[in-house]
A and B are shown apart, each in its own frame.
Chain A
Amino acid sequence: MPRDRQKPSRDSVTTIGEDGSRNFLHPADVKGRFTLWRRISAFFLIAFYVSLPWIHINGYPAVFLDLAARRFHLFGLTLAAEDLWILFFFVTGLGFFLFFVTALFGRLWCGWACPQTVFLEHVFRRVERWIDGPARKQKDLEKKEWCAEKVIKRVTKHAIFVIFAAVIAHIFLSYFISVDVLFSWFSEGPATHPRAFAFMLFMTAVLYFNFSWFREQLCLIICPYGRLQSVLIDDDTVVIGYDEVRGEPRGRKKKVRQAAASAPAEQVFESGDCIDCFRCVEVCPTGIDIRQGLQMECIGCSNCVDACDDVMVKTGRPKGLVRYDSLNGLAGKGKKFIRPRLFLYFALMSFGIAAFAVSVTKIKPGNLGVARMTGTPYFLTEDTIRNQFNLRLINKRNQPVVYTVQAISDEKTLTTAGFEGGITLEPMEEVVRPFVLTLPREDYEGPFSLVLEIHGEPGDFSVGREVKFLGPDVRLLDENYEPTFGQ
């Protein structure tokens, strides 16, 4: 079979030419069990991505990052901007979960779940194959002089790419402004919301560029996760690999196995199972030769596994020359799953998730802010001392909450004004109201601390803030007091 691309080498990246130019790949299509399962999982992942903004939980979209109102709705949980610290634990827990999975199964995420792979392999490349045909025809078309056919195919393909990029960008935008708002902005036109429109255009352009041209460069050169692989995996991690023991020496020796069946045992392995057909290289989306061992470029997509299995079946050999296995397993050594690093990653992951779970329960669905009213810190009347506050009440919940306010203090004669009979706050509402504390003069014996507390129903929660009741120097309240100045 003639091959018009250079043989992959471990010394350089296949997709970058000697002069720094881009070597555009046309990976061949592949069929098989892993490809089928990847296609099914990609379908559900895309459906998941598309449907999240449409599904409403507790009155808000399942994921709605409302930046404008600084409220973050995540699967029924509503977080205010001030609560986002808990996401630290969630994200680190998730990060260590990825570490854990990586230590076990290598780049499972990249090949099966990463949006880059999902959209590229299952949307954009399929469109490309549908219009330009299989890999060989794609290459021929690329070399061809510009003609009517090429123009039509190119225009059609890129038009569809732009449309898909725009759709993905719009769904992304709806995560931040919600689908309802997105549609109302549609009807009002781009001129009314130029910034959102510009953002959408920018996202569309980036996605189109990424999926039509940039492609595997993102995985190879930009993605930090790919670069972390070498410290996350070891010789017992399950990766995609080539069974050198069984495959070498490679070559096109037909029916070697059948002929060797009656031969002495040493001759059975005289020629390896690899027939050097290069099918695994042709289907590789990053342009490597998996037979050269585990490489930085491998995104664990399993295309080569299916491709090789297909060839093995056709040539009457057992499957699994290229397979999911650990480096030790491929070398014929024993398999081992339990390793110290797994415990470390698992412990860190559990810590993050546990801390997140605990802190979620600590989040108050409302908040109280206390500030003294502008002006003097206290006011004196003939027989009372008065302290005035502005209370800022925030309802962070998705439902109306009734708040009652009280001052908790040892002073029995302290009276309050404001918030009589409680106050109902609408979902996400925030109000500022005065609250006045009054104390008879004769009971004042100097500044004292007290707690202003709000109690919310439903939810039965309280938030308290300590404040100081201030007044004049006690001696000044005594009418018979005569100040002496200096000595």
Chain B
Amino acid sequence: MSDNPKKNDEPQQEGVRLLDHAYDGIQEYDQRLPNWWLVTLYGSIVFAAVYWFFYYQSDVATDDVENLEARLQVIEAINLEATLAMLDNENLWKMSNNALYIEAGQETYESICQTCHGPNLEGGIGFSLIDNEWVHGSQPVEIYKTIDAGVQGSGMQAWGPTLGPKKVAEVVAFVLSHHSPENMKDAQSAP
């Protein structure tokens, strides 16, 4: 930028002080910072003290890890509560007569289980779910457990963590809807 020829002729503003030091002939003004700027400085000092007290010295504020753990506990509690209703053979049989459960279960079945157990539950890579042979238990709660936790060493993975208890129960309801408590009594629990 061009130097202003007028600059040197104008009287220097009162109160504007030049610092003594000079580097390569360049000198520096000693001006006061804007007050609003100083407010941000003092403000952050106060904030740091308040923050330090609340987060590190007192129990008033909770940090992110604690918040996260608390929320995970809530989610787990909800899941546990939902699971409670499904740990009951009678309940699961009731669900197998409920159209909403069957419909929802069918949707999940067709998107996931069908790959191995066939579109009509006839089996394929996995076991048939339509016959009366139940390798891992024929009781509704046992079927629930098989889907939820999987079967080690077979191709059945644990779907509980992916689907959650509600969807697992829906799938159980859908599978059970092809059976009745009576014929399940005669089911063989061995291969």
Contact = CB atoms under 8 A, between A and B. Distances in A.
A379 B115 contact: no
Nearest to A419: B115
Q: Which 10 A-B pairs give the minimum distances between C-beta atoms?
A: A293-B4, A418-B115, A20-B32, A18-B15, A20-B35, A9-B13, A434-B115, A373-B157, A374-B157, A11-B16
B158 to A, nearest CB: 6
Interface of A: 6, 9-12, 16, 18-22, 214, 217, 221, 230, 233, 235, 244, 291-294, 327, 331, 373-376, 379, 386, 388, 417-418, 431-436, 438
Contact of A10 (B4, B112, B157): B4
B34 A292 contact: no
Contact of A388 (B3, B157, B162): B157
A310 B62 CA distance: 63
A19 B31 CA distance: 9
B154 interface: yes
A22 B1 contact: no
A235 B2 contact: yes
Contacts of A379: 154-155
B125 A417 contact: yes
B1 A293 contact: yes
A434 B32 contact: no
7 contacts: A10-B7, A16-B32, A20-B38, A375-B155, A417-B124, A417-B125, A436-B125
B191 interface: no
B6 A292 contact: yes
A417 B155 CA distance: 13
Contacts of B5: 244
Nearest to A235: B2
B157 A221 contact: no
Given A375-B155, A375-B157, A11 B34 contact: no
A217 B34 contact: yes
Contacts of B57: none
B23 interface: no
B12 interface: yes
Interface string B86-107: 0000000000000000000000
B2 A386 contact: no
Given A374-B157, A375-B157, 17 more contacts: A9-B13, A10-B10, A11-B12, A12-B16, A16-B31, A21-B35, A22-B34, A221-B37, A291-B6, A292-B7, A292-B10, A293-B4, A294-B2, A432-B162, A433-B111, A435-B115, A436-B116
A439 to B, nearest CB: 12
A405 to B, nearest CB: 11
A19 B7 CA distance: 23
Contacts of A6: 13
Chain B interface residue bracket vs A: 35 or more
Contacts of A418: 115
A327 B5 CA distance: 13
Interface SS of B by simple majority: loop
Interface string B1-32: 11111110010111110000000000001011
Nearest to B15: A18
A433 B150 contact: no
A11 B13 contact: yes
A16 B34 contact: yes
Most-contacted residue by chain A among B3, B4, B14, B38 (CB, 10 A): B4
Interface in B140-177: 150, 152-158, 162
Given A418-B115, A432-B162, A433-B111, A375 B2 contact: no
B152 A375 contact: yes
Contacts of A431: 111
Nearest to A291: B6
Contacts of A432: 162
B32 A19 contact: yes
A327 B32 contact: no
A376 B152 CA distance: 8
Interface string B113-153: 00110000000110000000000000000000000001011
A388 B155 contact: yes
A388 B153 CA distance: 13
A92 B14 CA distance: 44
Given A10-B7, A293-B2, A374-B150, A417 B32 contact: no
Contacts of B34: 16, 20, 22, 217, 221
Given A217-B34, A375-B155, A12 B1 contact: no
Given A12-B16, A292-B6, A417-B115, A22 B35 contact: yes
A292 B12 CA distance: 13
A433 B163 CA distance: 12
Nearest to B31: A12
A438 B155 CA distance: 12
A143 B91 CA distance: 80
B33 interface: yes
B155 A386 contact: yes
A230 B13 contact: no
A251 B180 CA distance: 108
Contacts of B1: 230, 233, 235, 293-294, 327
Contacts of B155: 373, 375, 379, 386, 388, 436
A214 B37 CA distance: 11
A388 B116 CA distance: 10
Nearest to B14: A18
A374 to B, nearest CB: 5
Contacts of A376: 153
A217 B111 CA distance: 59
Nearest to B158: A374
Nearest to A374: B157
Given A375-B157, A433-B112, A20 B33 contact: yes
Contact of B125 (A9, A18, A20, A386): A386
B117 to A, nearest CB: 10
A74 B38 CA distance: 40
A434 B114 CA distance: 9
A216 B115 CA distance: 66
Contacts of A386: 125, 155
Contacts of A327: 1-2
A213 to B, nearest CB: 9
